[in-house]
Amino acid sequence: MSYFTQNSLLSFLGYPVSLQTFLPLSAPSLHFTMDWQGQKLAEQIMQIMLLVFAVTAFVAGYVLGSFQMMVLVYAGGVTLTGLITIPNWPFFNRHPLNWLDPSEAEKHPKPQVTVSSKKKGFKRTIEPAHRLDPSLPTANLVTLA
Amino acid sequence: MHSFGYRLNGLLTFAVTILALMCVIASLSDNLNIPSPSAEIQIMNINWFQKQPKGSDEVSLRMNISADLQSLFTWNTKQVFIFVAAEYETRKNSLNQVSLWDAIIPAKERAKFWIRSSNKYRFVDHGKNLRGKEFNLTLHWHVMPKTGKMFADKIVMSGYSLPEEYI
């Protein structure tokens, strides 16, 4: 889903949406979030659980000779998978990203965009953001001035 | 998988797609079933055999239909529709088919039955060809599935004939 359709979907669903949806609010956030690893884990869990429940439901229905049994087992499986993968459970947030504090961010200037023009079009160079501690995992986002 | 709505959408789409696949496989599993149905029809009585005012022949019969269609049912069967048709040949048409009686069998337990009934639908010819006519009675069935392909087949029983003169 593209960034803009996701934003419009979120605003339609009633979520507070701003262009800075991916960045947390400056005050301690009341939103529970998933981190990137958690999102990947949630997607994998969803796919595997649905496939397992589908196979189980089909086998159960075929052996018992009941189509209704197959549909019921599968519907139960879908609901269970939804309960596990859709809400932002804490175990999806075990590798949270460490964002800079706003006060820290002020100490380090935002990168400057230098524009140099040549006869054939012009080239933009963007200096990389400062890194506080190379050992911490950082997201490779570049903020524009 | 970024947000609540995104994950919900992904889950529902994937679940419905897999459900469609399960239904396709369920329909394919119907091919594993080899049915062995049997049926017998007796004509107990010819009630009347007349010429209609506009000129076509019409017959009323009383039949005793007995059948065992239990082997047609699988786990993916919703109901079986059966009908009895009279088939005969005339000078104008090589095949005439007239449906005389039909029924819906909703469950396997009801598939082994006998019934005595006169024809539900009128046995009328196009013309005056029925005197002394030899005809086949065919029991057709359509196995209607819960999902997927419908199977249809028939049993042909021959050797029936109508009287030479109007009754």
In a domain, B83, yes or no: yes
A21 pLDDT tier (thresholds 50, 70, 90): very low
Distance CA A19, CA A35 (A): 18
B63 and B103 assigned to the same domain: yes
Domain residues for the domain of B20 are 1-32
CA distances from A81 to B10, B19, B38 (A): 12, 15, 47
Residue A135 predicted with pLDDT over 70: no
In a domain, B130, yes or no: yes
**Count of domains for chain B:** 2
B44 and B96 assigned to the same domain: yes
With CA atoms as reference, report the closest residue to A70 among B21, B117, B92, B132: B21
In a domain, B109, yes or no: yes
Burial class (CB in 10 A: 0-12, 13-18, 19+), A77: buried
Length of chain A: 145
**Mind listing the pLDDT tens digit for each residue in B116-148?**
999 999 999 988 888 899 999 999 999 999 999
- Under the phi-then-psi rule, with left for phi > 0, alpha for psi from -120 to 50, and beta for the rest, what region is A14? left
Distance CA B28, CA B153 (A): 18
In a domain, B80, yes or no: yes
B51 and B20 assigned to the same domain: no
B149 and B75 assigned to the same domain: yes
Q: What is the CATH number of the domain that holds B119?
A: 2.60.40
B13 and B69 assigned to the same domain: no
Contacts of residue B74, defined as CB under 8 A and 6 or more positions apart, other chains included, come to B29, B30, B33, B145
CA distances from B121 to A140, B56, B92, B158 (A): 78, 15, 23, 20
A27 pLDDT tier (thresholds 50, 70, 90): very low
Q: A46: helix, coil or strand?
A: helix
Which of the 8 DSSP states describes residue A109?
Answer: P
pLDDT at A141: 55
Tokens representing A79 are 């609901």
pTM > 0.80:
no
Residue B165 predicted with pLDDT over 80: yes
Task: Give the percent of chain B with pLDDT over 70.
Answer: 99
B107 and B54 assigned to the same domain: yes
Which of A41, A59, A67 best tests the B interface by mutation, with the highest count of B CBs <10 A?
A67
**B28 in contact with A at a CB cutoff of 8 Å?**
no
B8 and B79 assigned to the same domain: no
Cβ(B50)–Cβ(B124) under 8 Å?
Answer: no
B72 and B83 assigned to the same domain: yes
Other CB atoms within 10 Å distance of the CB of residue B82: 22
Check residues A72 and A20 and name the one with the higher pLDDT.
A72
pLDDT at A38: 86
In chain B the first and final C-alpha atoms are separated, in Å, by 80
In a domain, B99, yes or no: yes
Distance CA B139, CA B39 (A): 8
Tokens representing B159 are 């050797």
Tokens representing A60 are 């159960």
B22/A70 touch (CB, cutoff 8 Å), yes or no? yes
Name B87's bridge partners. B97, B136
Residues of chain A neighbouring B11 (CB-CB closer than 8 A): 46, 50, 78, 81-82, 85-86
In a domain, B91, yes or no: yes
Distance CA B86, CA B157 (A): 10
Tokens representing A62 are 């075929």
In a domain, B22, yes or no: yes
Q: Residue A16 corresponds to which amino acid? A: P
B5 and B50 assigned to the same domain: no
B12 and B78 assigned to the same domain: no
B11/A86 touch (CB, cutoff 8 Å), yes or no? yes
In a domain, B166, yes or no: no
User: Hey, which of A7-16, A45-54, A93-102, B128-137 has the most confident mean pLDDT?
Assistant: A45-54
Nearest by CB: B2 against A6, A62, A78 = A6
B26 pLDDT tier (thresholds 50, 70, 90): very high
B45 and B18 assigned to the same domain: no
B17 and B95 assigned to the same domain: no
Name B83's bridge partners. B102, B140
Distance CA B161, CA B105 (A): 29
